[in-house]
Structure 1
């Protein structure tokens, strides 16, 4: 598998490395948390503590060696990212994070992620102990509409397919090889916007569960009152590798 993939003449993708980790995390802080539907509903960007806690989590996720970033060749700046996680059955990593967190906003976001996952148990459905989760997919605001998120998602699917076949494409943040480890049989993601749900259709994902924003609330405010961009639901989607 190559280590550089072009989106267009100006933007290319590569595995996330130590050199770009801080910048990739900052891009989420600037463009993802203030504008992504669920993050908006929880008011993540309004709470510096919540941002710090989620950044700690994405930094931990990055250690799995399967996250990807997009870079503008002209500025050498990160303009897109997807933090991907190898999920192992009965591993309470996210709950363990939430237990130590102080912000009710970040706690509620992780609790929602767990709730959506519980609506359709992929571990049981596929009788597997391991899956790959596409997480924290974001593009810098001025770079949207250029196919960057779609390319990052396609590359994540390619990574998952390789791992499922036993091809070790995992790389540590410093670029060294990692053990293959458990091989995922399924790729999944929680898609919270119309744009990412279209990506799910493009990749051939199936919808395992969905929940309307009108049925969800935080601190007395319905998600549907905050999310006014046309997206009406969150979906849990998956594809066998």
Structure 2
């Protein structure tokens, strides 16, 4: 396992399996482990793909083969063992996911060249716009780091939303990044609500693309992003190795999701 992801394996072993318990809702935040990968993929297929702006407008949500290709890519990200889940303590089922992966400058510089080898036009469109906005952000130079933790997917089951569970997943990703000595946490957020929450957590916009301006072959790709959703924004914040999160202190300032 030498050199696995260039991370210190001992640092990973020191990360607790259960990070937080939201006692009011009987929900816990924990690491996503192998035994729950399949459940997490089904959760993403049901609760994320049909509603995600990029998936819906890009045609992925209506193509079973493309959905499978996308899920396989998320499975690859899960195998980085930096993803988080929210679990209902009563049913023991996943009710929220935050798929993460460590992103390195050396890999980022090769991403654009790999896009053309992806199977399927819909997945290729999504990865292409991800690559475009990352290239505009200069996130590695901005934080003077060669390694950041990237949030890929944040999704909470509808009946558990507006209880602060999504917020707690994001907060926990900062703690996770700090424990692994990452320089920053970043994500590409496609809705106004997620962008607002990111700002309240200290994240800043490093690059954004207006939906109305993203045109391919003379056609607007995102013709119906939904009310209040105007841009795709790459947001990020620095994390410190000793960082911890005071949930109660932050609660009044952070919009619930």
TM-score normalised over the length of structure 1: 0.84
- Check if 1:76 corresponds to 2:74: no
- Count of aligned positions: 222
Aligned-pair distance for 1:203? 1.2
8 Å Cα contact 2:58/2:222 also seen in 1: no
8 Å Cα contact 2:101/2:151 also seen in 1: yes
Q: 1:235 aligns with which of 225, 233, 238?
A: 233
Q: RMSD of the alignment, in Å?
A: 2.0
Stretches of structure 1 lacking an aligned partner (at least 5 in a row): 165-183
Matches within 5 A, 1:1-241: 2-4=16-18, 5-7=20-22, 8-91=24-107, 98-164=115-181, 184-217=182-215, 221-241=219-239
8 Å Cα contact 1:83/1:135 also seen in 2: yes
8 Å Cα contact 2:115/2:127 also seen in 1: yes
CA–CA distance in 1 between the matches of 2:114 and 2:85?
24
CA–CA distance in 1 between the matches of 2:65 and 2:17?
34
Stretches of structure 2 lacking an aligned partner (at least 5 in a row): 1-14, 240-257
8 Å Cα contact 1:42/1:218 also seen in 2: no
CA–CA distance in 2 between the matches of 1:63 and 1:186?
20
8 Å Cα contact 1:41/1:218 also seen in 2: no
Greater than 6 Å deviation, 4+ residue runs: none
SS of match in other structure, 1:154: helix
8 Å Cα contact 1:40/1:226 also seen in 2: no
Aligned-pair distance for 1:9? 2.8
CA–CA distance in 1 between the matches of 2:216 and 2:154?
22
